[in-house]
Amino acid sequence: MKKFITIIFILLFSGSVVFAMTPYYDPFYTTDDIFTSPARFTEQPEISPFGFEFNTFGAVDYLSYLSNPVNKLSEDEYVDALYDILYNADLDFWSKNTSLISSIFDFDGHTWTAPTNEAQLAQLRADLEDSFNNRFNSTHKAVAVYNAIQKNLLDDEKLYGDVNLSLTLHGGASYSNGFAWRLKADAGFMTPENMFSNQKSVIAFDVRADFAYAFNILSEKFSVGVALDVLAGGQALISNNGLLAARFKDNILLAFTDDPNFTLDMGLGFGLNFGGMYRQNETLAFTLDLTNVASFRKYYYLDVNDLSGSYDGFDEMDVYYQPMDLVLKALWDYGPYHLVVEFSDVINQVIWDREVSGYDYNFFAIPKLGFTYDINEDFSINTHLGYSKLSFGIDFHNFTVEASTSLNKLGFGLSVGYSI
């Protein structure tokens, strides 16, 4: 027991050192994965040679944009925001940004002259009002809004994205002696919540090998476990402006060429999770897990020149780390009823808030709730609440289907899984 506590303190200290490095978000990380709670392997022997999970989610906002970008950007919400910014701007703003404002309306053939006094500014405002009310059609307004987004003039507006398209293939086994292993391959495309933000979307893929070992200490009521995750994978970060441009101009290549700093990253990594479990009785158990106690990625990249034909080899990037977290769960099982209450995403959000400018701490990401009811041995229904999303699903034999909806915006998702 003393050795285990010593190891925990050593890893906590080493985890604090990585604050000097660059934080990294693993798009395939989830606390629903049992390998993030390895102490539970003392009581879950299972063999699953093959399984897959396919997840989709997206906000209606971004889906509407993909369907018809002109209609979406010409909505009053965005047009009025642009008009208010320009109409209410003072003389100093117009004098310094006349060329930028003219470039927003590059479709009109109308040049805006920098005002030198309030009378000229009043004339510009009158011209602006007439243009929006009488001269510009919906396409003109959409182009103006699009250009303003590209020039970061609409930072306070939102186009909800939150897209998640991912596929996971996995197979593994856990045994009665507490040892478990798994091979897993992931691929996915994810966007940030706001497509007008400076955050980037990601295309990611990896192949992982997970190993875990759990054992009882003191009595059968207490168990501890450790899990190791090793992987090889890659990613490409795509600017939101590039994605918007690719659809607005119907040129998919703009998603990759819009950003001069675009790179294709390839690398290796590993992660380490520790956990403990206390089983009160057959009905109730508690787990406390330290996830990503040590979780690092080392990447090498190809830049735009390499990808366009001037290949000169991979260049080295910094070492990245995934912020650690403390995950507390209560597991209640009573006949056909199963309840999981979780508290997590406290420590890692503190780290993200410290390291990333403009990060918003999300209190509603901390509590999570899951409930399952077994109708019979082959059929069960479930619901989950977490990260401002609510889902309902069914499990039938080896198949799982789950529909989800967002609670803070209009968005829907569907997940399908199968395991042998």
pLDDT for residue 18: 47
Please report, as a single letter, which amino acid is at residue 381: I
pLDDT of residue 1: 45
The CA-atom distances, in angstroms, between 79 and each of 70, 147, 210, 228, 408 are 12, 12, 50, 51, 23
In this structure, which long-range contacts are made by residues 384-392, counting pairs with CB atoms below 8 Å and at least 24 apart in sequence?
Answer: 386/342, 388/362, 388/364, 389/413, 391/415
Contact assessment for residue 248 and residue 146, using Cβ atoms and an 8 Å cutoff? yes
Q: What is the pLDDT of residue 135?
A: 87
pLDDT for 315: 83
Q: How far apart are CA 372 and CA 266, in angstroms?
A: 39
pLDDT of residue 16: 45
Q: Can you list the residues of the chain whose pLDDT is less than 50?
A: 1-19
Which pLDDT value is given to residue 304? 74
What is the value of pTM for the model shown? 0.86
pLDDT tens, residue by residue, 18-41:
445 789 889 999 999 999 999 999
CA distances from 360 to 33, 225, 238, 363, 365 (A): 26, 33, 22, 9, 11
CA 1/CA 5 separation, integer angstroms? 6
DSSP letters, 330-395, are: EEEEETTEEEEEEE--SHHHHHHHHHSTTPPP-GGGSEEEEEEEESSSSEEEEEEEETTEEEEEEE
